[in-house]
């Protein structure tokens, strides 16, 4: 039976959604193509109608989830609070792909690394736009430093087995970013 273009597009979107969740939850190497297709409710044989290889799926799933993750408005404080929360820390599969996959992306294809690079640029740009009161050099520095601190804090908070310290890492990073944002230089 022939599948309509609309159904093909929906199947592809579903595969990308499922793959990005599985990759964020388990890592790239622990997820098979068969597992992705089963989780998407599709047969393994249909995979190659959408992607050339697992590497192609990895790159496209990253691009897909990073594009969705870069949306949002200019409420930096709200974004930081949500990002550096126990809820985000505890939801790796639905959380930030950068925090979930940054450590292993270096072992992926150039296309996957390019998708991660574009996602990183997008997040830095998002934070820069939320800091219009700073001059351009300070805005860029604050955006890169804040994003690096946020991602690092989530990685560290997820890595340890001490819930009190994990919560403290999130809280103190949030406070450090807030203090930096509030120290706007007077021109």
Q: How many CA within 13 A on the CB side of residue 91?
A: 10
Are 84 and 153 spatial neighbours (Cβ–Cβ below 8 Å)?
yes
Residue 175 in tokens:
């406070």
d(CA 111, CA 108): 8
The pLDDT value given to residue 183? 63
Instruction: Give the dihedral of Cα atoms 160, 165, 170, 172; nearest 10 deg.
Output: -140
The pLDDT value given to residue 180? 80
Q: Length of the chain, please?
A: 187
Q: Please, is 25 exposed, middle or buried when counting C-beta atoms within 10 Å of its C-beta (0-12, 13-18, 19+)?
A: middle
Are 116 and 66 spatial neighbours (Cβ–Cβ below 8 Å)?
yes
Query: The tokens 């993750």 sit on which residue?
Result: 69
Look at residue 42 and give its three-state secondary structure.
coil
Predicted model pTM:
0.87
Residue 78 in tokens:
């709200």
Are 78 and 29 spatial neighbours (Cβ–Cβ below 8 Å)?
no
Are 80 and 9 spatial neighbours (Cβ–Cβ below 8 Å)?
no
Q: Which of 182, 181, 185 is nearest to 143 (CA)?
A: 181
d(CA 64, CA 23): 13
From first to last of the 187 residues of the chain, give the pLDDT tens digit: 677 889 999 999 999 999 999 999 999 999 999 999 999 999 988 899 999 999 999 999 999 999 877 655 568 999 999 999 999 999 999 999 999 999 999 999 999 999 999 999 999 999 999 998 889 999 999 999 999 999 999 999 999 999 999 999 999 999 999 988 766 554 4
Look at residue 13 and give its three-state secondary structure.
helix
What is 5-182's CATH number? Answer: 1.10.357.10
């Amino acid at each position: 039976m022939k599948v309509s273009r609309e159904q093909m597009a929906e199947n592809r979107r579903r595969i990308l959604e499922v793959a990005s969740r599985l990759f964020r939850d388990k890592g790239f190497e622990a997820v098979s193509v068969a597992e992705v297709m089963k989780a998407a409710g599709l047969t393994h044989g249909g995979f190659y109608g959408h992607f050339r290889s697992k590497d192609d799926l990895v790159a496209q799933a990253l691009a897909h989830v990073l594009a969705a993750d870069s949306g949002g408005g200019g409420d930096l404080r709200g974004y930081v609070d949500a990002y550096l929360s126990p809820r985000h820390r505890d939801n790796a599969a639905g959380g930030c792909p950068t925090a979930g996959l940054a450590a292993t992306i270096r072992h992926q294809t150039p296309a996957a690394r390019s998708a991660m690079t574009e996602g990183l640029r997008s997040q830095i740009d998002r934070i820069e736009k939320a800091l219009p009161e700073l001059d351009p050099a300070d805005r860029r520095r604050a955006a890169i430093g804040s994003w690096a601190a946020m991602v690092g804090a989530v990685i560290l908070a997820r890595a340890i087995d001490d819930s009190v310290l994990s919560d403290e890492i999130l809280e103190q990073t949030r406070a450090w970013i807030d203090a930096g944002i509030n120290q706007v230089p007077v021109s």
